[in-house]
Structure 1
Amino acid sequence: MEYLSNILFAIVLVAGIGFFTKNVLRLSRNIKLGRDVDVSDNKPQRWKNMAKIALGQTKMVVRPIAGFLHIIVYVGFIIINLEVLEIIIDGLFGTHRVFASLGSIYNLLIGSFEILAVLVIVAVVIFWIRRNIIRIKRFIKPEMKGWPKNDGNIILYIELVLMTLFLTMNAADYQLQLLDAPHYTKAGDFPASQFIASLFSDMSIASLIVLERTTWWLHIIGILCFLNYLYYSKHLHILLAFPNTYYGSIEPKGKLNNLEAITKEVKLMMDPSADPFAAPAEDAPVPEKFGASDVKDLNWVQLLNAYTCTECGRCTSSCPANLTGKKLSPRKIMMDTRDRLEEVGKNIDANKGVFVEDGKQLLGDYITKEELWACTTCNACVEECPVSISPLSIIQDMRRYLVMEQSAAPVELNNMMSNIENNGAPWPYNQMDRLNWVDE
């Protein structure tokens, strides 16, 4: 019976980490459904981007209020969870505050943890008010109904509960230290929870131990539940922001990618000295499919983008098409891509690792042509994203499919391309007539 608590803790810990590992493997499998793409170039710049954007939060503070509050929650999440290591060791070996021997360093750590916990609670309350009372416009767009809206609030409630449990646990521990309770090592400065501890001054040692143990268990179980909730939440970006910023594009934002085979065809058409009967180059194979109509046509970095989306709406709030009332929302593009990818993943799971055609695809069933052609390719969404996501790259690939596979471009675009093909310019004038305006 002496080790029952330790055994129970080990079972809970293994179950929590095991389920999380299972979800990570499923996530990795889904991302790898995308086409391969080489992103091994310029590693120093990629590491720099990850350090600045994911770790340093440099793009968050462009909007100072939200950025400052997010940094508080972010730093609190990282630093406060350092105490999880101590909780794990204590839970497995039956110790209590095993790092207390660090002395003044430990006191400093506990003190900073507590101050951050209070700041996180304040930030979470402000975030909730902004989302539910002030109702900032980017949080009430059409795509933010139902689960996306609830998910944003659920994570705030979880963070509030975890911080409250943490402070209550410390308050009970502090009171037990004052009462010289056995096993409760005197250690740590509790600048916040000591005020809560005054509420427990009339409680017996037995009652305080029950309170401390209850909040201790709820705190660690809550952390494990939060860890496994991430897969189903937009807050997966907590983990994926780092690889996503590393693998994000390092090309100038105005540079569009081209298919090599198509580029050579266009050069051939535009070059009067080129031999139209020359054999195609061996190093430029024609792809099986031009562009993308479903998630498996996208590359794996784009699918990683979809899972990393924070649904913050900065992209949509800066999109000129959306601001003028058009249906395009870059955030919805990413959310739809993730939802379709999840649907494909569940299809594979249900059919023993093989995807069975379901008669659906990303284009049409999730994203409409109207949304795609509303995009001005201005890159505002890419510039605004705090974690280096590119909705524009997905829009471009789906447009490419419409044009090159279905010949379904808008009339205006078809006219322009016909003019380029026939006249060598986007205007409807014969090359011989181009200078007629001079006569006028």
Structure 2
Amino acid sequence: MQYIPNILFIVALVAGIGYFTINIRKIIRNIKLGNPVDVSDNKGERYGNVARIALGQSKMVKRPIAGLLHIIVYVGFIVINIEVLEIIIDGILGTHRVFAGLGLVYDYLIATFEILALLVFIGVIFFWTRRNIQKIKRFWANEMTSWPKNDANYILYFEMVLMVLFITMNAADLQLQQMGAAHYVEAGMFPVSGLIAPLFDGLSEGTLILVERTAWWLHILGILVFLNYLYFSKHLHIILAFPNVYFGRVTPKGKFKNNEAVTKEVQLMMDPNADPFAAPAEGAEAPAKFGASDVMDLNQIQLLNAYTCTECGRCTDECPANKTGKKLSPRKIMMDTRDRLQEVSKNIDSNKGEFKEDGKQLLDDYITREELWACTTCNACVEACPVSIDPLSIIMDMRQYLVMEQSAAPMELNGAMTNIENNGAPWPYNQMDRLNWKNEA
């Protein structure tokens, strides 16, 4: 009977980590649906970006108050969960505070965890207030429907409850230590829980043990639930921000990629010996699809971007098209891409690992043409993103599909392209007349 708690703990731990592993493998599979990208270049710069942007939160602090509090919550939550290692060992072996033998080091660790837990709780309250009382505009945009709004709040509630359970567990533990209860050896400093421990005065040893054990179990089970909730939440960025920043763009933001398929077509047109009507050679590779109309046409970095999106709205908040009332929201571009990718994932799961055509695609069913053509390609969204997401690359790939596969460019763009073809410039003037303006100066 004495080993039943240990067995139950091991079962819960294996189930929680196992389900998490299944979902992470699914995310990796989904990302690999995209086209591969060579990211073997500039490794030093990439690691520097991880240290500066992902770890150092350099882009977050551009908005100082929210940025500082995010750092506190981020650092606090990560550091506090170092104690999870002790909880896991205690749960498996049936010990209690197995690291207590570290002496003074352990005392300072527990004190640090408690102070950070209090700061995390305060920070989470601040973020909840900003969302639900202050109602900052970017958190209540059209794309922030019931699920995105609720998801943001759910994670805040999770963090509040976990911090309260942590402090409650320690407060009851402190009382049991002072009572000299068996197995509750004196260990740790409790600057925060020590303040609420007097609330438990007068409770019997049995009741205190019940409180401490209940808080202990709920705390570790809550962490396992939180871990598995990430797959369904925008908070997946807790895990993916680091690889996303590493694989992020390191070339100048204003430089657009050269499309090799287009280059080959141009070279063919310019080759006087080429026969444009000749049948392709046997075994020749089929012409590549220009641009993207669905998630499978995007590259793996773009799909990783979609899963990493924090839905913070900083991109949309900086978008000049959105500010002038256009339909475009870079955040919605990323949310739509993720939603479509999840829809494709469920399709694959239900069809034994194969995608069955469902008559849908990212273009039109999720992202409208009006949104795509509203973009000014200014890169403000890319610059604003705190985790190096690039909504513009998706917009440009989908635009390319519209222009080169469907000949569906807006009338103004068609006119400009015709002028470039005929006159060498986007204006409807003969090349001989292009400098006439100077005579009127």
TM tier relative to shorter chain: over 0.9
1:258 shift after superposition: 1.8
Q: Which position in structure 2 is the counterpart of 1:203?
A: 203
Q: Secondary structure at the match of 1:310?
A: coil
For 1:245 and 1:223, the matched residues in 2 are separated by 25
For 1:124 and 1:256, the matched residues in 2 are separated by 40
Q: Which position in structure 1 is the counterpart of 2:222?
A: 222
Q: Verify: 1:172 aligned to 2:169, yes or no.
A: no
Cα gap change, 1:254 to 1:439, in 2 (>3 Å): closer
For 1:72 and 1:436, the matched residues in 2 are separated by 61
Q: Which position in structure 2 is the counterpart of 1:2?
A: 2
Q: Which position in structure 2 is the counterpart of 1:253?
A: 253
1:188-246 alpha-carbon deviations (Å, 9 max, x no partner): 00000011110001101010001100000000000000000000000000000000000
Matched-pair contact (CA < 8 Å) for 2:261–2:290: no
For 1:309 and 1:317, the matched residues in 2 are separated by 15
Q: Which position in structure 2 is the counterpart of 1:48?
A: 48
For 2:128 and 2:141, the matched residues in 1 are separated by 17
1:287 shift after superposition: 4.2
Q: Verify: 1:241 aligned to 2:248, yes or no.
A: no
Aligned amino acid, residue 319 of structure 2: C
Q: Secondary structure at the match of 2:74?
A: helix
Q: Which position in structure 2 is the counterpart of 1:57?
A: 57
Q: Which position in structure 1 is the counterpart of 2:213?
A: 213
Give runs of aligned pairs for residues 78-97 of structure 1, distance below 5 A.
Answer: 78-97=78-97
Q: Which position in structure 2 is the counterpart of 1:326?
A: 326
Q: Which position in structure 2 is the counterpart of 1:73?
A: 73
Q: Which position in structure 2 is the counterpart of 1:138?
A: 138
Matched-pair contact (CA < 8 Å) for 2:169–2:211: yes
For 1:95 and 1:34, the matched residues in 2 are separated by 47
Q: Secondary structure at the match of 2:428?
A: coil
For 2:23 and 2:212, the matched residues in 1 are separated by 32
Aligned amino acid, residue 75 of structure 1: V
Aligned amino acid, residue 243 of structure 1: P
Cα gap change, 1:241 to 1:214, in 2 (>3 Å): same
For 1:266 and 1:13, the matched residues in 2 are separated by 58
Q: Verify: 1:39 aligned to 2:36, yes or no.
A: no
Q: Which position in structure 2 is the counterpart of 1:305?
A: 305
1:279 shift after superposition: 7.6
Give runs of aligned pairs for residues 39-438 of structure 1, distance below 5 A.
Answer: 39-263=39-263, 275-278=271-274, 287-437=287-437
Q: What number of residue pairs does the alignment pair up?
A: 434
TM-score (norm: length of structure 2) = 0.95
Matched-pair contact (CA < 8 Å) for 2:19–2:228: yes
Structure 1 unaligned regions, length at least 5: none
Q: Secondary structure at the match of 1:143?
A: coil
1:292 shift after superposition: 0.2
Aligned amino acid, residue 372 of structure 1: L
1:265 shift after superposition: 5.2
Matched-pair contact (CA < 8 Å) for 1:139–1:312: yes
Matched-pair contact (CA < 8 Å) for 1:261–1:285: no
1:348 shift after superposition: 0.3
Q: Secondary structure at the match of 2:143?
A: helix
For 1:427 and 1:299, the matched residues in 2 are separated by 35
1:110-160 alpha-carbon deviations (Å, 9 max, x no partner): 000000001111111110110000000110100012100000000000000
1:263 shift after superposition: 3.8
1:234-267 alpha-carbon deviations (Å, 9 max, x no partner): 0000000000000000001111112024246558
1:32-77 alpha-carbon deviations (Å, 9 max, x no partner): 1001111111111111111111111111000001101100110111
Aligned amino acid, residue 375 of structure 2: C
Matched-pair contact (CA < 8 Å) for 1:319–1:330: yes
For 2:206 and 2:340, the matched residues in 1 are separated by 53
Matched-pair contact (CA < 8 Å) for 2:261–2:288: no
For 1:287 and 1:339, the matched residues in 2 are separated by 29
Matched-pair contact (CA < 8 Å) for 1:89–1:95: yes
Q: Secondary structure at the match of 1:144?
A: coil
1:272-296 alpha-carbon deviations (Å, 9 max, x no partner): xx6544589x9x9774200000000
Give runs of aligned pairs for residues 12-23 of structure 1, distance below 5 A.
Answer: 12-23=12-23
For 1:83 and 1:25, the matched residues in 2 are separated by 26
Matched-pair contact (CA < 8 Å) for 2:89–2:95: yes
1:438 shift after superposition: 5.9
TM-score (norm: length of structure 1) = 0.96
Matched-pair contact (CA < 8 Å) for 1:417–1:426: yes
1:433 shift after superposition: 3.7
For 2:222 and 2:228, the matched residues in 1 are separated by 10
